[in-house]
A and B are shown apart, each in its own frame.
Chain A
Amino acid sequence: MKHLTTKDLMTAGIFSALYFLAIGLVTFICMFTLPVLGNFLLPAVAALTTGSIYFLLLKQVPKFGAITIFSLVMGTFLLLSGHFPLAIIANLGFSGLADWFTYRTTFQTKHKSLLGYILFSYGLTGPLLPLWFMKQQYIDNLTSRGKTATYISGMFQYVTPTFFILLMFFILIGAILGGIYGQKLVAKHFGQTSSKQISDLYD
């Protein structure tokens, strides 16, 4: 990460703030339009809407490590703001993969950045994964609250592998559509000329 300059770090921080705001807005919309399902679909909807922020960051800081920093900042912020601690692991893992895929593979630039975005989008599944992979914690918690086994099995009848696969599929579709839209939006509004004009102003 040492090759990232102060400007790169500042840009990552500013884009993280924007990304955080976008995620907050998406959460708000999801909660009110789809009261229950919205929470499960949040990573897919977020992937659909935040593509432009990701691709503009990629354009502004085209260096290995920028995506990881971007995601790590979000993860640390979520951790410090009391969100699920394991979320940072999913964030870090998927963003590291996205970084590696974007800068260390030899695919065509447009395609590998889209694939990188798809991987990055899976980082948002962190808060949801415990429902499937830490089921025992929830069951212990319910047992300590005096709930019966029949009641507990009824509670978890919808936390199934099929539902999990379906969610992952939705994220994939959301990331593909959001990525293509984000790439187009960045190319249209922040193309070579417009970004050069902005950077010329400050160089």
Chain B
Amino acid sequence: MINIQIKCLLLFITHIFLFIPFHPVQQTVLVGLLLSILFLEKERKRSLLYGSIYLVLLGILIALPYFKSFLGHSFGQLAMVFLLLYPCFLAGSLLIRTSLLSDWILLLKKCRLPMYLILPITVMFRFIPHFKEDFKHTFRLQKMRVPHSSLFKRLERTLIVLLHAAIQSSQELTMAALAKGINQLETRPVSKLTSLTFLDYLVATSSLGLIVWRSFL
């Protein structure tokens, strides 16, 4: 739907907003824009969840003067930090959850990132869900095999299994990568449509409009 370059622009804009003091209304508009894009990208449940979290954080910030204890203060302080970082987190989530791996490679190549960074990053993206699943299965299996062992022991055994899997995967993946020529990303021909649509222009203009609005308010 939305071009990955525009998603990257959104992330950049949210980072700009992090360094300049801004009005809560402007932040809410930015969060609203990001949530609507997430909704349009068919991540409807997630967008509603993130919207609710934002409202809760706002609620905590409003109730902050009533917290008197150390715990209350610290909790409120954390809520404020989260609120400040929330647009960045939303833009990041949009970029990560709604982009294909091939788009990522293209983006990283367009950003002129060196090969020694593109390769590990793409491998990392590919392997996070794989290890997540592996962890769940191995942890459950440990529970079944040694039901009375402590949580620490179970975690340690699971970690050892995952570390073994990581070594094996790195060997297998290297062979596959060499066979497919993935290590030659710089010279490998890629065909991908990168033109911007009306929606992309609309999102880019509205996000840039927010910066203009910020400088006039």
Contact = CB atoms under 8 A, between A and B. Distances in A.
Interface of A: 1-2, 4, 6-7, 9-18, 20-22, 25, 35-37, 39, 52-53, 56, 60, 65, 69-70, 72-73, 76-77, 80-85, 131, 137-138, 140-145, 151, 154-159, 185, 189-190, 195, 198-199, 201-202
A76 B132 contact: no
Contacts of B171: 7, 198-199, 201-202
Interface of A is mostly: helix
Contact of B89 (A7, A83, A85): A83
Contacts of B77: 155-156, 158-159
Contact of A15 (B166, B173, B174): B166
A158 B21 contact: no
A13 B119 contact: yes
A121 B58 CA distance: 33
B163 A10 contact: no
A7 to B, nearest CB: 4
A12 B168 contact: no
Contacts of A37: 74
B124 A7 contact: no
A80 B89 contact: no
Contacts of B49: none
A77 B121 CA distance: 7
Given A16-B124, A76-B121, A198-B164, 14 more contacts: A10-B119, A17-B126, A17-B127, A17-B128, A20-B128, A53-B159, A69-B120, A73-B120, A82-B93, A141-B22, A141-B80, A144-B23, A145-B24, A202-B171
A76 B117 contact: yes
Interface residues on B, range: 35 or more
Contacts of B89: 81-83
Interface in B84-101: 84-85, 87-93, 95-96
Contact of A36 (B11, B78, B117, B128): B78
B75 interface: yes
Contacts of B23: 144
B117 A144 contact: no
Q: Which of B89, B116, B117 has the most CB of A within 10 A?
A: B116
Interface string B125-139: 011101110010000
